[in-house]
Amino acid sequence: MAAHRLREADRLDAVRRALALHSGPDTALDRISRLAARIFDTPLAAVSFVGDEQVWFKGRFGLQVPAVLAQPGLCVTAAQRSGTYVLIDALADPWASVHPMVAGDPGIRFYAAAPVRTTDGHRIGVVSVMDTEPRHAAASQLALLPELAGLVTDQLELRRAAVTVIEVEQEARSRLLAEAKRISYIADTLQDTLTPSRLPDIPGLDLAVYYEPFSTDDVGGDFFDVFPVNDKRWGIFVGDVVGKGVEAAAFTPLARYSVRTAAVVEPGPAEVLAAVNEAVRRDPASGENMYCTIAYGDFAPHDGGQSWQATMALAGHPPPLLIRRGSVESVTAEGTVIGSFEHQQYSTTTVTLDPGETIVYYSDGMTDLLTGEGWLGVEGVSAALRDRELRSAQDAVELLRNVITRNDQPLRDDLVILAVRVPEHPRS
């Protein structure tokens, strides 16, 4: 009994350290939650840390509450298990059925979770997915939950290492001024590798872009590119590396140039993203805790050059938006985040852009914008573009920039907005 109490005290110390590392809003853990929800197709998912009195939801998808009391049935029980914990119907479990999140709002029925372990073995929390209807999960889905929990562990270790670096740097404050000049130079050099110096001039297409890094170093993890695949096709993409600032920016050239290289040799966007995923997974410099999302489109003239066809593939990225006569629709395709898992396959969606129609790419710096009604989300981005008269690609970019300008909350992440439009009156 004494040994158990000692182990629990050590575990709670590990929980407190994790909470200290994740004291504010956490984009990385939110992304892991969103990825879990996409894999299981559930409305709710979370990354939670389990204390002795409370369970803190530090990564959330669909959940509104930041914390609940710690009691058996859901996260507390899951954190005590060495493997994956599954409830097909929580009302059928005597412990879970009286849990407030089951008996009350949001009325959880299906629950699946895998424990998050520290490197020294303490189970400090869980990655969980939830639904308000009883359901089964495929073995292939459940097998990915421990992998997602491993990503949380990687984030903990990355942040712990970052804190150590900060503490060391604070002890050597006298050297920071000279180091800041060096970092500024590196940041400028890195940023030059992330984005084109200007967009190319493509006959029959109108392009516009807006880029704003979150980092005060003026570098970020968002990236974009527009480049010729051959004499008839153009590759256009937007990507987002997990993380911000110089660390994310250092990883970004690998992803960006892998896309460019793969586009030349692979037959289509799905194969391009699969090749990029393998390149990132195999590159020793990327490690196991760096991954990114990408929305890639292959654009080619269609119908004698009057229209354009765009074949799109997505790797966990927010769906581009297709604007037709004031209506807005999402261009969706199945695909998992680049770098998370080996041997991924991706699907494609092909759309035709007629004169006056526009596709807008954007990163989750846009969807994660906090407004008076909550996160902007894909629907909020769509609403900003719906029923608006567009005369150019720049008009679409400005509509979304106006949303940011009107909002009194700062950006929570890097931001890219890239619009591609087929003009009503193409240049001769």
Token pair 């050239």 is at which residue?
A: 253
What pLDDT is stored for residue 216 in this prediction? 52
Per DSSP, the three-state class of 259 is helix
Q: Are 153 and 38 found together in one domain? A: yes
Q: Which residue has the higher pLDDT, 248 or 127?
A: 127
**pLDDT tens column, 113-124:** 999 998 888 999
What pLDDT is stored for residue 189 in this prediction? 45
Kindly state the helix (H) or strand (E) to which residue 182 belongs, with its residue range.
helix 176-194
pLDDT for 177 beyond 60: no
Residues 6+ apart with CB under 8 A from 265: 275
Find the domain containing 338 and state its range.
187-421
354/356 Cα distance (integer angstroms): 6
Residue 173 lies in a domain: no
Please tell me the total number of residues recorded for the chain in this structure: 428
Q: How many Cβ atoms are within 10 Å of 166's Cβ, its own excluded?
A: 10
Q: How many Cβ atoms are within 10 Å of 221's Cβ, its own excluded?
A: 31
Q: Is the peptide bond before 106 cis (omega within 30 degrees of 0)?
A: yes
Q: Are 311 and 380 found together in one domain? A: yes
Helices (H) and strands (E) counted in the chain, each on its own, are 12, 18
The whole-chain average pLDDT of the chain stands at 86
Query: Residue 160, class by beta-carbon neighbours within 10 Å (0-12 exposed, 13-18 middle, 19+ buried)?
Result: middle
pLDDT for 169 beyond 80: no
| Distance linking the first and last C-alpha atoms of the chain | 84
Torsions phi, psi of 308, nearest 5? -130, 145
Q: Are 75 and 137 found together in one domain? A: yes
What pLDDT is stored for residue 85 in this prediction? 95
Q: Are 330 and 362 found together in one domain? A: yes
Torsions phi, psi of 393, nearest 5? -65, -35
Kindly state the helix (H) or strand (E) to which residue 89 belongs, with its residue range.
none
Q: Are 206 and 97 found together in one domain? A: no
Provide the CATH number for the domain around residue 94.
3.30.450.40
Q: Are 148 and 215 found together in one domain? A: no
Residue 151 lies in a domain: yes
| Dihedral angle of Cα 355, 357, 361, 367, to the nearest 10 degrees | 170
26/243 Cα distance (integer angstroms): 10
Give the total number of structural domains in the chain.
Answer: 2
**Domain boundary, last residue among 108, 133, 164:** 164
Q: How many Cβ atoms are within 10 Å of 395's Cβ, its own excluded?
A: 17
Provide the CATH number for the domain around residue 305.
3.60.40.10
**pLDDT tens column, 30-76:** 999 999 999 999 999 999 999 888 999 999 999 989 999 999 999 99
58/214 Cα distance (integer angstroms): 21
Confidence of residue 190 (pLDDT cuts 50, 70, 90): very low
**pLDDT tens column, 299-319:** 999 988 889 999 999 999 999
Q: Are 194 and 155 found together in one domain? A: no
Q: Are 375 and 270 found together in one domain? A: yes
Confidence of residue 24 (pLDDT cuts 50, 70, 90): low
| Residue 35 tokens, joined | 């990825």
Q: Are 373 and 300 found together in one domain? A: yes
Percent of the chain whose predicted confidence (pLDDT) is above 70 = 84
pTM higher than 0.75, yes or no? no
Least confident range of 5-9, 41-45, 48-52, 394-398: 5-9
Least confident range of 36-45, 168-177, 180-189, 235-244: 180-189
Query: Residue 54, class by beta-carbon neighbours within 10 Å (0-12 exposed, 13-18 middle, 19+ buried)?
Result: middle
Residue 197 sits at the vertex; the CA angle it makes with 192 and 199, to the nearest 5 degrees, is 140
Q: Which residue has the higher pLDDT, 20 or 89?
A: 89
Residue 180 lies in a domain: no
Q: What's the per-residue H, E or C state across 301-323? A: EECCCCEEEEEEEEEECCCCEEE
CA atoms within 13 A on the CB side of 13: 8
Mean local confidence (pLDDT), 284-290: 64
Confidence of residue 27 (pLDDT cuts 50, 70, 90): confident
Least confident range of 17-26, 214-223, 269-278, 410-419: 214-223
415/238 Cα distance (integer angstroms): 10
Residue 176 lies in a domain: no
Mean local confidence (pLDDT), 202-226: 81
Confidence of residue 186 (pLDDT cuts 50, 70, 90): very low
Q: Are 159 and 192 found together in one domain? A: no
Q: Which residue has the higher pLDDT, 125 or 162?
A: 125
Residue 128 lies in a domain: yes
Confidence of residue 405 (pLDDT cuts 50, 70, 90): confident
**Domain boundary, last residue among 164, 199, 231:** 164
Burial 236-272 (b: 16+ CB within 10 A, else e): bbbbbbbbbbbbbbbbbebbbebbeebbeebeebbbb
Q: Which residue has the higher pLDDT, 249 or 239?
A: 239
Q: Are 307 and 215 found together in one domain? A: yes
271/98 Cα distance (integer angstroms): 48
pLDDT for 215 beyond 90: no
- Angle formed by the axes of helices 145-171 and 27-40, to 10°? 170
Confidence of residue 10 (pLDDT cuts 50, 70, 90): confident
Hey, which residues does 330 pair with through a beta bridge? Answer: 321
CA atoms within 13 A on the CB side of 353: 30
Residue type, 321: L
| Dihedral angle of Cα 270, 34, 363, 66, to the nearest 10 degrees | 180
Confidence of residue 158 (pLDDT cuts 50, 70, 90): confident
Task: Find out whether 61 and 27 touch, Cβ atoms under 8 Å.
Answer: no
Q: Are 217 and 84 found together in one domain? A: no
What pLDDT is stored for residue 248 in this prediction? 59
Least confident range of 150-159, 246-255, 405-414: 246-255
What pLDDT is stored for residue 409 in this prediction? 72
Q: Which residue has the higher pLDDT, 25 or 393?
A: 393
Confidence of residue 178 (pLDDT cuts 50, 70, 90): low
Confidence of residue 2 (pLDDT cuts 50, 70, 90): low
